[in-house]
Amino acid sequence: MQHPSLITFLEQSKTILDHLHSEFGKLQTGRAQASLVEHIMVESYGQKMDLRSVASISVQDASSIVIQPWDKSVLASIEKALQVANIGANPVNDGVVIRLTLPPMTQERRVQLTKIVGQLEEDAKIKVRQIRQDAQAEIKKEADEDVKYTALETLQKLVDDVNGKIEEAAKKKNGEVMSV
In this prediction, residue 10 has a pLDDT band, given cuts at 50, 70 and 90, of very high
Asked if 81 contacts 40 with a C-beta cutoff of 8 angstroms, the reply is yes
Q: Is residue 128 classed as helix, strand or coil in its secondary structure?
A: helix
Identify the helix (H) or strand (E) that includes residue 49: strand 47-50
- Cβ-based burial of 113 (10 A; exposed 0-12, middle 13-18, buried ≥19): buried
Q: 3-class DSSP state for residue 144?
A: coil
Q: What is the pLDDT of residues 70-82, one digit of tens each?
A: 988 899 999 988 8
- For the chain, how are helix, strand and coil distributed in percent, rounded to 5? 60, 15, 25
For the segment 5-22, the average pLDDT, to the nearest whole number, is 92
| pLDDT per position as a tens digit, 72-110 | 889 999 998 888 877 777 888 998 999 988 877 778 878
Roughly what angle, to the nearest 10 degrees, separates helices 145-178 and 107-139? Answer: 170
Q: pLDDT tens, 127-153? A: 999 999 999 999 999 889 898 999 999
Domains, the chain, ordered by start? 4-25+106-178 (1.10.132.20), 34-101 (3.30.1360.40)
The pTM score is: 0.71
